[in-house]
Amino acid sequence: MIRTIHPLYLLGLMLALLLTLIWQNAKIEEEISYKLSQRSDARSMAKRIVALKKVMKTAHKGQIDAFLDGSLFTGADLTHRVKSGRYIVNAQKMNARQLQSFLNRILNMSVKVVQLKVESQNDKHVSLYMEISL
Amino acid sequence: MASFFSSNAVIGLIDKNTGRIKVEDKINIILTPSFYWIKRAYLEVNFTSSALKYAPSIFEGMLPEGNYSYYAVKTKKEYMFFAYDPDEIISSLKAKGITASQISGIYFAQNEMHNIKAPVQCNKEDAVVVYNDTVLQVPKYLVDESSLKRNLDEIKELSKHKITLHKSSVTHSIKELAPVLSVLGMLIVLYTTQLFFTYKQQQKLESQGSVFQEYKLPLTFVQNSSIEKKLRSSFKAQTSFRKLIFSILKLPLSQRQRIKSLSYEKELFTIVFEMQDYARLRDIELHLHKSLGKLVKIDIEKNVMRVKII
């Protein structure tokens, strides 16, 4: 009949308990480290996405309408219409400076150019056809 | 009293009245009947472990006061039960100068000496004899002194019925193991505390919401990875488009060179030049490559230059 625990059993039990604790600790720490690393990766990705979205933020419809409606290009016959969610812009008698300014401003609105056609009309003027989507 | 041991002194017959013993090596101890009580009983059980459960009730009322341990041996027809007081044995062995580390095994005389032919002296006054298959301790004057033996030469081999005195080992070894046990104890406390905090940290981490949620993005990594990929490709395409169109608008054309038309569709620019000297288009190609690097692939066919955004 066992009257009390043998010290070697006690030693064995304590060792087993200690090893289990160490193993369990290491396991949880590894899990924490993995989760932290995942969260860090996720945060970096989220920041990159937010930054990209910010850079590529397209101007809203009202801004584009205001730009195209306004008589900003004197002399240039600029018209536009909306078809299937796309802006179709036509311009005649645009001089080089106006063309450059138009393209500069419209492209800075982060629109996606689907089609572009510029044709020389004479020495000073060009015609422009552009399809853009938001 | 040392005369009880053979020359190798591996087996010792120990009685309550045995004096101090000097043990050089390990010793197998045979306890005389003065250390235990014996009772035979017929039980309808197959295993010794089951029979052992009945031992306290079998000895009930016949033992002096004390904390007893029990041992059972199965014989052909019945069980033989032993009752012994480990504390008493421990203190007796200690008093005789035997330490736990020196003990190889402890046996009952009943199991080891039931086949002896002649009585064996166990102390100055008593001898161990076998009567009706039972090993008894009797006064020496009751046996024939001429046949009395003073050694255990008759015992060639010990039985498997060894008892363990855990208490003895504890009282002895606990002192030796105390530093190790206390260090282990401290480490256990330390690691348990650490585990508690680690577990808390894990729970805290798990209770935190998704990182993507903070940025109002879809919850999964795969979805966001796909969004990022799409955005990157779109960003690259737009950047390349802008760079290319501004490079075209800033082309260093000579006085005779003029662009007749410029069109863009499906990531391909087609530039038609009005010029006689086609060879000079190579200068323009070089200029575009210089400003745009590997973003574009250029093909020239007479006065038509096709620039593909890669």
Task: Quickly list DSSP for B124-180.
Answer: SSEEEEEETTEEEEEEGGGS-GGG-BSS-TT--S--S-EE--HHHHHHHHHHHHHHH
Q: What was the pLDDT predicted at B309?
A: 79
Contact B289, B298 (CB under 8 A): yes
**Domain limits, chain B:** 2-164, 238-309
Contact A87, A68 (CB under 8 A): yes
Tens digit of pLDDT per residue, chain B (310 long)? 333 444 454 788 899 888 888 888 888 899 999 999 999 999 888 888 889 889 999 998 888 888 899 999 998 889 999 999 988 898 898 888 888 778 888 999 999 988 888 899 888 889 999 988 899 999 988 888 888 888 888 888 888 898 877 654 445 556 677 888 899 999 999 999 999 999 999 999 989 888 898 889 998 889 999 999 998 988 888 888 888 888 888 777 777 778 888 999 888 889 888 766 666 778 888 888 888 777 778 888 888 888 887 7
Convert the pLDDT of each residue in A79-107 to its tens digit.
Answer: 888 888 888 998 888 888 888 888 888 88
Distance from CA of B134 to the nearest CA of A (A): 23
Residue B233: closest C-alpha in chain A: A52
* Of A21, A47, A114, Cβ closest to residue B192: A21
Q: Could you give the CA distance from residue B232 to residue B245 in angstroms, rounded to a whole number?
A: 20
Residue B277: the pLDDT is 63
- Does the structure show a pLDDT above 80 at A134? no
Interchain CB distance below 8 Å, B70 and A52: no
Q: Between residues A3 and B220, which one has the greater pLDDT?
A: B220
d(CA B197, CA B212): 27
Q: Any idea where the domains of chain A sit in the sequence? A: 1-57, 61-133
Whether residues A118 and B217 touch (CB distance < 8 A) is answered with: no
Nearest CB among B166, B214, B262 relative to A4 is that of: B166
pLDDT computed for residue B39 by the predictor: 93
Q: Do B173 and A7 touch (CB under 8 A)?
A: yes
pTM above 0.80, yes or no: no
Q: How far is B264 from chain A (nearest CA, A)?
A: 5
Give the pLDDT confidence score for residue B1 in this predicted structure: 39
Q: Out of A3, A56, A104, whose CB is closest to B235?
A: A56
Gap from A23 CA to chain B (nearest CA, Å): 10
B231 contacts A53? CB cut-off 8 A: yes
CA–centroid distance for A119 within its chain: 34
Per CATH, the homologous superfamily of domain B238-309 is General secretion pathway protein M, EpsM (3.30.1360.100)
Kindly list the residues from chain A whose CB atom is less than 8 angstroms away from the CB atom of residue B174. 7
Q: Is residue A76 very low, low, confident or very high in pLDDT (cuts 50, 70, 90)?
A: confident
Non-local (6+) Cβ contacts of A53 within 8 A are B231
Higher-confidence residue: A23 or B260? A23
